[in-house]
Amino acid sequence: MSPERATIDPAVIGERLPNLAGIETLRAALSGEEAYLVGGAVRDLLLGVDHPDLDVVVVGDVAALATKLGAVARIHERFATATVDLEGTRVDLATARSETYARPGALPEIEPAPLERDLARRDFTVNAMAVSLAGEPEVIDPHAGVTDLRAGLLRVLHPASFVDDPTRALRAARYVARFGLELEPQTADLLQRADLGTVSHDRIEAELRRTAAAPQAATAFGFLALWKLAGVDSGAPGRIKSIEAVLAEPAWEHISEPGEAIYAVARPDPELEAVALRLSSAHPERPSEAVALARGRSPIELVIGRAAGAVWLDDFVREWRHVRLEIDGADLIEAGVEQGPAVGSGLAAALDAKLDGEIDGPEAELRIALAAASS
> What's the residue count for the chain?
375
pLDDT at 2 over 60: no
Highest mean pLDDT among 26-35, 53-62, 111-120, 327-336: 327-336
The reported pLDDT for the residue numbered 347 is 97
The chain-wide mean pLDDT, for the chain, equals: 93
Whole-number Å distance between alpha carbons of 240 and 262: 6
DSSP for residue 134:
S
Are 68 and 47 contacting, i.e. CB atoms less than 8 angstroms apart? no
Whole-number Å distance between alpha carbons of 178 and 43: 12
What sign for the dihedral angle of Cα 224, 151, 118, 191? positive
Four-point Cα dihedral 110, 114, 115, 118, nearest 10: -20
Nearest to 187 by CA among 211, 165, 156, 162: 156
DSSP for residue 17:
G
How does pLDDT run across 271-288, given as a tens digit for each residue? 999 999 999 999 999 999
Query: Exposed, middle or buried, 278 (CB in 10 Å: 0-12/13-18/19+)?
Result: middle
Give 4's pLDDT tier (boundaries 50, 70, 90). Answer: low
pLDDT at 240 over 80: yes
Whole-number Å distance between alpha carbons of 279 and 56: 48
Give 65's pLDDT tier (boundaries 50, 70, 90). Answer: confident
pLDDT at 111 over 90: no
DSSP for residue 108:
P
Mean pLDDT of 93-110: 84
Higher-pLDDT residue of 347 and 1 is 347
pLDDT at 3 over 50: no
Whole-number Å distance between alpha carbons of 156 and 284: 54
Q: Give 36's strand partners.
A: 57, 132
How does pLDDT run across 290-309, given as a tens digit for each residue? 999 999 999 999 999 999 99
What are residue 179's phi and psi, to 5 degrees? Answer: -105, 5
The reported pLDDT for the residue numbered 1 is 45
Spell out the residues 6+ positions from residue 151 whose beta carbon is closer than 8 angstroms to its own: 1, 5
What are residue 238's phi and psi, to 5 degrees? Answer: -65, -45
How does pLDDT run across 165-224, given as a tens digit for each residue? 999 999 999 999 999 999 999 999 999 999 999 999 999 999 999 999 998 999 999 999
pLDDT at 263 over 80: yes
Amino acid letter at 91? Answer: V
CA 308 to chain centre: 23
Are 54 and 91 contacting, i.e. CB atoms less than 8 angstroms apart? yes
Spell out the residues 6+ positions from residue 28 whose beta carbon is closer than 8 angstroms to its own: none
